[in-house]
Structure 1
Amino acid sequence: MSADPKVVIGIATTGRPAILAELVDQLAKQSIRPHRLIISYARPDDIAAIPQTLRDSMSVEFVTGHMGAAVQRNVILDHVKNEDIILFLDDDFFPHPTYISRIIEAFLDHPDVLGATGSLLADGAKGPGLEIEEANRLNGNAKTTSFLQVEDVFNTYGCNMAFRCTAIKRLETRFDENLPLYSWYEDMDFSRSLLPHGRIVRVNGARGVHLGNKTGKGSGVRLGYSQIINSIYLARKGTYPWSHALKSAGRHFLINALKSFRPEPYIDRRGRLRGNLVGIGDLIRNRITPERAATLTISKVAS
């Protein structure tokens, strides 16, 4: 890696045009700008809110294909050129202005690091979600620090994860397109496939806020199915330890079952439970096909 690494940012987006436009505007204010910005979208409306002036100033490249986190991120990988670091951001992750510079420092200081994820000032995915104004306030109040600590982690978190491009190309690492739509655990599968060859770390100085916006998530039934089947599929594949996979599937089934009696207004617990049960039925029949999630009947309640 050169002393002045090139960073390409890849954003897979679906159904969040206003939030995406705000994110692109914030990326323009990073202390170190990305070398390139690639946005993978499924429908024209997904990118309609980004002003032309911002598109030009950031030299945004738009690529399109079938909807789904894994598929859209692979399209981004297909367009990586001679960059040193690929940084995948969710369209609702707002980085602190020093985020990119901290990620670069981590890769420069630790040649054995192949993948990195930042630390969250707040994660709206664990609740009803955060508004843009709250994310901006948290980032604005976070003090800039020269302290850069990295610690080994089980996997990168999909909302913000960076990888050494040479490793990805050498190992021909791809996102598993058998994990459709929301692609539950595709981030873990991708990052852990690199573990035999180097380290996966969290960079505590690279901070940001994950809105956890609930639009664009899709059906609760489909997500519930993926919560069961994807865990077992990845355990069979070898990127997810069986002990973790069984605990994950069991934990989500138990949580969805208990909370389906009094579900949160922002989560389709009953839809997820229904999907869990379909997944368990497929497990009994030894049908481990995560791609089936895309064909299940859609719950009427938003997940």
Structure 2
Amino acid sequence: MGESMNIAVVIASTRRPTELARWAEHIRNQTLAPSRVIFAIARPEDLPPDFNVPGIEVIQAPLGLPAQRNAALNLLDDTTDLVAFYDDDFVPAAFSLEAMARLFSDHPDVVAASGHVVLDGIGSAGISYEVASSLVASLKPVAPEAVALVPIDGTYGCNMAFRFNAIGRERFDERLPLYGWLEDVDFSNRVGRNGAVVRTNAFMGVHQGVKLGRGPGRQFGYSQIANPLHLRGKQSIRADHAYQLMARNILMNHLRMFWPEPWIDRRGRAWGNWVALWHKLRGRLSPERVLEL
């Protein structure tokens, strides 16, 4: 029954033409072909030169993950059953879309799901494409009786899917600019007012955690404070979740400031934390002010 579902695949990308181009192969490898594939870019140079792959739609939108994803959402209509959002540096298992369709077909109460990230390079220097591809090639589908559904507070944006008719008029918050940190949690919690939001082992893959294309540390540090407080004001994130995120990030940035990981600008993040806190005290804090840093 899941095979009859129309799945739109959306990848928003900036400054990663190599990673984005690999998605043509990822799509060809899927055991269930998507109904649509949309690449949402911010600039022509986000694509490889002369990129033209039949079946892949390319649209240009204002720079920023939320805005780019929204531009793709606005193209879809009621013939779409599911929308799968992937990061450009995610390598999906070949059975991912088929397993995704079966999951949503078997569980009509589920409106949003995070797939299993077998290995995540976001907390390290990153995972090479060769290693990621080798690991993904070894993955096998999960038997129906072994599929797990765990309720969660917000999906993980690198590998997530939504029931399209549950989205309605909800869109990603474009007040969260650039990388849009926590846009996935905010969006899925708002869609989750219409049903269950879960983490599952049904569909899966590897997140390389490519560092190219991410903003400076000071900008991300500002967003680590501004974004949770903004979402708390919208009541799309629990208070304890928001404050735990802020406290943990402030603590880690300062503890690791003098012995930072080579791939993280801890001093920049700590500086951004303090600017955001100062703005909060002066009543000037807003997510958009990160663009001034």
1:252-271 equivalences in 2 (<5 Å): 252-271=249-268
Is the contact between residue 23 and residue 92 of structure 1 (CA under 8 Å) also seen in structure 2?
Answer: no
User: Secondary structure at the residue paired with 1:28?
Assistant: helix
Counterpart of 2:43?
43
**1:202-252 deviation digits (Å, cap 9, x = unpaired):** 121211000010011111111100001111111111011111111111110
1:54-203 equivalences in 2 (<5 Å): 55-56=53-54, 59-81=55-77, 82-146=79-143, 147-169=146-168, 172-203=169-200
1:245-284 equivalences in 2 (<5 Å): 245-284=242-281
Is the contact between residue 3 and residue 108 of structure 1 (CA under 8 Å) also seen in structure 2?
Answer: no
- C-alpha displacement at 1:23, in angstroms? 2.3
Cα distance in 1, alignment partners of residues 221 and 268 from structure 2: 7
- C-alpha displacement at 1:149, in angstroms? 2.2
- C-alpha displacement at 1:161, in angstroms? 1.0
- C-alpha displacement at 1:282, in angstroms? 1.1
1:202-241 equivalences in 2 (<5 Å): 202-241=199-238
- Structure 1 segments, 4+ long, off by >6 Å, are none
Counterpart of 1:13?
13
- Structure 1 unaligned segments of length 5 or more: list them: 297-303
Is the contact between residue 235 and residue 241 of structure 1 (CA under 8 Å) also seen in structure 2?
Answer: yes
Cα distance in 1, alignment partners of residues 94 and 51 from structure 2: 21
Alignment coverage as a number of residue pairs: 290
Cα distance in 2, alignment partners of residues 237 and 226 from structure 1: 16
Cα distance in 1, alignment partners of residues 285 and 155 from structure 2: 24
Is the contact between residue 40 and residue 72 of structure 1 (CA under 8 Å) also seen in structure 2?
Answer: yes
Is the contact between residue 11 and residue 86 of structure 2 (CA under 8 Å) also seen in structure 1?
Answer: yes
- C-alpha displacement at 1:51, in angstroms? 4.7
Counterpart of 2:23?
23
- C-alpha displacement at 1:2, in angstroms? 7.9
**Match of 1:9, as an amino acid?**
V
Is the contact between residue 177 and residue 288 of structure 2 (CA under 8 Å) also seen in structure 1?
Answer: yes
TM-score (normalised: structure 1): 0.92
User: Secondary structure at the residue paired with 2:162?
Assistant: strand
TM-score (normalised: structure 2): 0.96
Cα distance in 2, alignment partners of residues 137 and 118 from structure 1: 19
Q: Greater CA deviation, 243-252 or 281-290?
A: 281-290
- Decide whether aligned partners of structure 1 residues 144 and 196 sit closer, same or farther in structure 2, where only a CA change above 3 A counts: closer
- C-alpha displacement at 1:288, in angstroms? 3.0
Is the contact between residue 10 and residue 88 of structure 1 (CA under 8 Å) also seen in structure 2?
Answer: yes
- Decide whether aligned partners of structure 1 residues 92 and 196 sit closer, same or farther in structure 2, where only a CA change above 3 A counts: same
Is the contact between residue 125 and residue 263 of structure 2 (CA under 8 Å) also seen in structure 1?
Answer: yes
**1:52-81 deviation digits (Å, cap 9, x = unpaired):** 3xx11xx11111121100110110111112
Fraction of identical pairs, as percent: 39
Is the contact between residue 11 and residue 91 of structure 1 (CA under 8 Å) also seen in structure 2?
Answer: yes
Counterpart of 1:301?
none
Cα distance in 2, alignment partners of residues 37 and 3 from structure 1: 17
Q: CA RMSD in A?
A: 1.4
- Decide whether aligned partners of structure 1 residues 50 and 193 sit closer, same or farther in structure 2, where only a CA change above 3 A counts: farther
Is the contact between residue 10 and residue 84 of structure 2 (CA under 8 Å) also seen in structure 1?
Answer: yes
Is the contact between residue 17 and residue 50 of structure 1 (CA under 8 Å) also seen in structure 2?
Answer: no
- C-alpha displacement at 1:199, in angstroms? 0.3
